[in-house]
Structure 1
Amino acid sequence: MKLELRGITKRFGTLTANDHIDLVVQPGEIHALLGENGAGKSTLMNVLYGLYQADEGQILLDDVVQYFSGPGDAMLAGIGMVHQHFMLIPVFTVAENVMLGHESTTFGGRLNLAAARDKVRTISARFGFDVDPDALVGDLPVGIQQRVEIIKALSLDAQVLIFDEPTAVLTPQETDELMAIMRQLREAGTAIVFITHKLREVREVADKITVIRLGAVVGEADPAATNEELATMMVGREVELTVHKAPAKPGAASFVVQNLTVLDAHGNRVVNNVSFEVHIGEILCIAGVQGNGQTELAEAIMGLEPHTQGVIELNGESLRGRSVRHILDEGVGYVPEDRSHDGLVGEFTIAENLMLDRANGAPFVKAGSLQLKHLAEFATITSKEFDIRSQGILSKASELSGGNQQKVVLARELSRELKFFLAAQPTRGIDVGSIEFVHKRIVATRDAGVPVIVVSTELDEVTALADRIAVMYRGSIVGIVPGDTPRQVLGLMMAGEVPAEVVA
């Protein structure tokens, strides 16, 4: 089935998320829609899937104009979507999930689960998925859950499949398996729209590439194009993708974690007996698929997790059980993984956000009064140093792009004297140009003699920045390896397998 989008425009108030976008996807073609987070890719696909209604433009299937009032209409027309965050019920079986919303019944009015099981087996056999129709979805690995999403779409005879950032929660091996599945679907004649911001994956699997920036198509690219060429199209200027750093010269182990355990609200261990140390002048990256305890580990270090056991020390001084205020005052810099909720106050100005760590004393506060002159001078200099692009230091943080918001957080943390720096998902949701800047600042912090931890689910980022890598799986560290460890080995560790050459 041929898919064509003509002049699709979608507005949210004064924001134009999609600006007269044209796109054609042929049967048996993988068409990658490449762009940074916030470029408008997912909005466009939500229009195609019936979740949003376009303000202008047309959707055509085999040259016939379509009108979708909701996802049900899109599915009936032959469009399926594999979402970044799976739309599955964990306590249901695979067969129950596949038939959900499209239930068939037997003559007596009972659910026809046998037919759903047969459909799962048939599709699994055709594509080599090896999925048990009676398995509970909640018990399946993430990679298999994604196959269930694909089976669910194919069970409705989808001839156009949308994959929305499908590798975000996969290990490298699971990503490779997904690429193979996409090729199989292509060979079967399925038209595939592959939404991503990962250059490596686009070049590996795409037949055609359309690049979208700020809601508009900026051009088409050849899959043989270099990463640098694609990045330039995405950002609108030349970008240095390689992280240049000299070999680390580690000193003493100044940050130490021993036998750290974190319990959630139900008493479950989300971090389980974790131990490691970080040396002066090195970057330790903590890698793993999202949801394996990295978030809780970072929050425990910062005093944000109340139910902790074990040792957290900086230069011999205990941080565990201390307040966030105390930990920051001890010289710890922190970039939280969710800048909007935890890193910034959106209604505060850039200048006000830059002083949040130091709002309790000189030079910005004196005798309970805000020293506006000092703050303005500091904010102006710091904004220039960190290339924060705005209408001025009095602009609200909420008015900035994601990359500039992240620069505000970085500027606040790195503009004071640090003894330790922790950055969680430091480049999530920012453009390639901002990623380049953030990486340079992290390396510069290491080179200034500060021990650094970077928590990241982006394996390219981990391998680019790390001097050593600690891999987490289900709350535990399965091993700590050199920064140049092959991706295949890291992928196995992220899936819980420890190769023989790795010592946990």
Structure 2
Amino acid sequence: MSASVGPDNDIILKAEGVGKVFPGTIALQEVDFEVRRGAVNVLVGENGAGKSTLMKILAGATEPTTGRLLLRGQQVSFQSVRDAARQGIGIIYQELNLCPNLSVAENLGLIDPPTRFGFDIDRTRQVEKAKALLARLEHPIDPSRLVDDLRIGQQQIVEIAKALAADVDVLIMDEPTSALSAAEVDILFKVIRDLKAHGVAIIYISHRLEEIMRIGDYITVLRDGRRQADALVEDISVDWIIERMVGSTKLALQEKASRLGGNALTVQGLSLPRAAGGFLVDHVDFSVQAGEIVCFYGLLGAGRSELFECLMGLQPQAVGRIEIGGRDLSGLSISDRIKRGLVLVPEDRQRDGLVQTLSVRANLSLASLRRFTRFFSLDAASEKSEARDMIKRMTIKVSSPEVEVTALSGGNQQKVVIGKGLMTGPSVVLLDEPSRGVDVGAKAEIFRVMRQLSDAGLAVIFSTSDLKEALGYADRIVVMSRGQIAAEYSRDEATEAALVEASTAAFPAQERLVS
């Protein structure tokens, strides 16, 4: 494919021969990328392909080592994100960029807060503006709530609303739907079409290839830091994208469990009260056998993450009986539950799964340091050896275990979080949205590891809002809605229609949203 797939006079932003070198890593090499007005310009590639690095260059977060940027035909050099914003470029980061100690309204007003007479902030107007932005996204989030109190999907909505608050000519969306339900994705796409109609250029990064086919106009594929191909979206297929990303279109579904053991996890009457009344987790009963992969499927707000937090002891208000191997975990601390063989891979890897300032090795061993302690000192050699083994097992792409974990791509960071859990030697593994923000290659690797764990006799439980993941990788699917278990299916019984119907079963008919 040629570097240009549309008329040149539509190009508002252009990267020419852009390269970026970090210590020990070449992130980008001679990349050309064109952004067209009034269009969705898709950028895809495996984790580590250089997508986020290129976006940070275009948004002013970092400077290129080589090459140049052209904005409206003029060469530019951004000194900061604020500098790029002043020239009409906005960005929604894959890893949310919000202030957790501020309210939703305060976060949305950070760029240009309304003031009275140019002095103090007009709180009333700030809240009204926040309500208008959230209404555009059709989401009833209270503007006065602290961002830290919101679920990850709600925080994603706030991040998108914050970008909409700025008057931009180019809007970069890095994995904007990674924590959104299908209904919320439809609403976002409606907003994107409205922005297109007003001439805004959208740069859209996503690992959800079906979304790309729905919303994209132009597509550029990066591979190993180089531009691999580009085309009109209407001229290509999902197989075309995968082949140029990873070199193969064969993404085989996992085999079903070959042998199941006894009950590894039994849950009875598990409930988590809601502060305003009712339940976030509503009297849930289920069991999982050793060697089984069970998927908890549901829409945003169904209670999947809260259920996992209750199991792990993160919600002290929860009541009910939780047994692993017949031993009751009720009242035990998180560390004691880990000792009993339970581990959680959280949904938000940045906030809950990683220590940003530590190396890959230190993050991997963080939850199992007791195993490497000899009297009053750490057996560093043993720790490093096991960390290296886990890096190989999880196929984490890193030049050295001592590299800071923030230098890794999102998919490789997720593998570190999973590896940290596995180093504790669990018998039951909980994975909350394990493929969020992960490319097709890394996703296949993660589910391959999950199947290996189940084959080794572990009970594996994961949550997802992705129908294809639920149908393709689970032995059994439990559907949640409004904190309750709405239905349960074996893989052979489950269908997309049945899962969608069950996931909306607890909602009034007029509120059902089925894409």
TM-score normalised by L of structure 2: 0.70
Is this contact kept in 2: 1:103–1:111, CA < 8 A? yes
> For residues 132 and 291 of structure 1, do their structure 2 counterparts lie closer, same or farther at Cα, with a shift above 3 Å needed?
closer
Deviation by residue 1:442-473 (Cα, 9 ceiling, x = unmatched): 23544666543113455543332234444556
Is this contact kept in 1: 2:18–2:66, CA < 8 A? yes
What's 1:466 paired with?
474
Letter aligned with residue 57 of structure 2: V
Distance (whole Å) between structure 2 residues aligned to residue 75 and residue 379 of structure 1? 41
SS in 1 for 2:434: coil
> For residues 267 and 260 of structure 1, do their structure 2 counterparts lie closer, same or farther at Cα, with a shift above 3 Å needed?
farther
Query: Are 2:5 and 1:5 aligned?
Result: no
Q: Once the 2 structures are TM-superposed, how far is the Cα of residue 408 of structure 1 from its aligned partner?
A: 7.4
What's 2:329 paired with?
319
Deviation by residue 1:407-449 (Cα, 9 ceiling, x = unmatched): 6776787799975443344345555333223323423544666
> For residues 326 and 49 of structure 1, do their structure 2 counterparts lie closer, same or farther at Cα, with a shift above 3 Å needed?
closer
Q: Once the 2 structures are TM-superposed, how far is the Cα of residue 489 of structure 1 from its aligned partner?
A: 5.5
SS in 1 for 2:105: coil
Is this contact kept in 2: 1:31–1:207, CA < 8 A? yes
Letter aligned with residue 286 of structure 2: E
Letter aligned with residue 430 of structure 2: L
Is this contact kept in 1: 2:42–2:216, CA < 8 A? yes
Structure 1 stretch displaced more, 175-184 or 315-324: 315-324
Q: Once the 2 structures are TM-superposed, how far is the Cα of residue 171 of structure 1 from its aligned partner?
A: 0.9
Query: Are 2:244 and 1:233 aligned?
Result: yes
The residue correspondences of 1:94-109 to structure 2 (distance < 5 A) are: 97=108, 100-101=111-112, 103=114
Query: Are 2:176 and 1:166 aligned?
Result: yes
Is this contact kept in 2: 1:478–1:496, CA < 8 A? no
Q: Once the 2 structures are TM-superposed, how far is the Cα of residue 129 of structure 1 from its aligned partner?
A: 3.9
Deviation by residue 1:142-187 (Cα, 9 ceiling, x = unmatched): 487567445413xx2x222222211123110111222233233323
278, 284, 287: which is aligned to 1:278? 287
> For residues 355 and 312 of structure 1, do their structure 2 counterparts lie closer, same or farther at Cα, with a shift above 3 Å needed?
closer
Q: Once the 2 structures are TM-superposed, how far is the Cα of residue 92 of structure 1 from its aligned partner?
A: 2.8
Deviation by residue 1:381-400 (Cα, 9 ceiling, x = unmatched): 988776677889xx558689
Report which of the two structures shows the higher radius of gyration computed on alpha carbons: 1
What's 1:209 paired with?
219
Query: Are 2:444 and 1:436 aligned?
Result: yes
Is this contact kept in 2: 1:20–1:57, CA < 8 A? yes
Is this contact kept in 2: 1:120–1:131, CA < 8 A? no
What's 1:175 paired with?
185
Distance (whole Å) between structure 2 residues aligned to residue 104 and residue 488 of structure 1? 51
> For residues 353 and 429 of structure 1, do their structure 2 counterparts lie closer, same or farther at Cα, with a shift above 3 Å needed?
farther
Is this contact kept in 1: 2:172–2:204, CA < 8 A? yes
What's 2:91 paired with?
81
Q: Unmatched 5+ residue regions in structure 1?
A: none
Structure 1 stretch displaced more, 338-347 or 71-80: 338-347
Is this contact kept in 2: 1:32–1:206, CA < 8 A? yes
Is this contact kept in 2: 1:5–1:59, CA < 8 A? yes
Distance (whole Å) between structure 2 residues aligned to residue 67 and residue 213 of structure 1? 25
Q: Work out the percentage of aligned pairs sharing the same amino acid.
A: 28
Letter aligned with residue 193 of structure 1: I
Distance (whole Å) between structure 1 residues aligned to residue 81 and residue 403 of structure 2? 35
Query: Are 2:52 and 1:42 aligned?
Result: yes
> For residues 111 and 389 of structure 1, do their structure 2 counterparts lie closer, same or farther at Cα, with a shift above 3 Å needed?
closer
Is this contact kept in 1: 2:57–2:63, CA < 8 A? yes
SS in 2 for 1:461: helix
Query: Are 2:461 and 1:453 aligned?
Result: yes
Q: Once the 2 structures are TM-superposed, how far is the Cα of residue 61 of structure 1 from its aligned partner?
A: 2.4
In the alignment of these two chains, the number of paired residues is: 483
> For residues 349 and 217 of structure 1, do their structure 2 counterparts lie closer, same or farther at Cα, with a shift above 3 Å needed?
same
The residue correspondences of 1:83-482 to structure 2 (distance < 5 A) are: 83-84=93-94, 85=96, 90=103, 92=105, 97=108, 100-101=111-112, 103=114, 129=136, 136=143, 138=145, 142=154, 145=158, 148-149=161-162, 151-153=164-166, 156=167, 158-223=168-233, 224-235=235-246, 237-238=247-248, 240-246=250-256, 254-261=264-271, 272-280=281-289, 282-288=292-298, 294-295=304-305, 297-303=307-313, 308-322=318-332, 327=337, 330-332=340-342, 335=345, 356=368, 359=371, 420-428=428-436, 430-446=438-454, 450-456=458-464, 458-471=466-479, 476-477=483-484, 479-482=486-489
Letter aligned with residue 442 of structure 1: M
Deviation by residue 1:257-276 (Cα, 9 ceiling, x = unmatched): 22334589x99999534413
> For residues 148 and 251 of structure 1, do their structure 2 counterparts lie closer, same or farther at Cα, with a shift above 3 Å needed?
same
Is this contact kept in 2: 1:470–1:477, CA < 8 A? no
SS in 2 for 1:92: helix
Letter aligned with residue 486 of structure 2: G
Distance (whole Å) between structure 1 residues aligned to residue 121 and residue 399 of structure 2? 63
Letter aligned with residue 42 of structure 1: S
Distance (whole Å) between structure 2 residues aligned to residue 354 and residue 138 of structure 1? 32
Distance (whole Å) between structure 1 residues aligned to residue 140 and residue 378 of structure 2? 66
Is this contact kept in 2: 1:40–1:212, CA < 8 A? yes
Distance (whole Å) between structure 2 residues aligned to residue 435 and residue 194 of structure 1? 20
Letter aligned with residue 480 of structure 1: A
Q: Once the 2 structures are TM-superposed, how far is the Cα of residue 33 of structure 1 from its aligned partner?
A: 1.0
Q: Once the 2 structures are TM-superposed, how far is the Cα of residue 230 of structure 1 from its aligned partner?
A: 1.9
> For residues 381 and 165 of structure 1, do their structure 2 counterparts lie closer, same or farther at Cα, with a shift above 3 Å needed?
closer
The residue correspondences of 1:5-24 to structure 2 (distance < 5 A) are: 5-24=15-34
Query: Are 2:37 and 1:27 aligned?
Result: yes
SS in 2 for 1:497: coil
Q: Once the 2 structures are TM-superposed, how far is the Cα of residue 35 of structure 1 from its aligned partner?
A: 2.4
Is this contact kept in 1: 2:41–2:202, CA < 8 A? yes
Q: Once the 2 structures are TM-superposed, how far is the Cα of residue 63 of structure 1 from its aligned partner?
A: 0.8
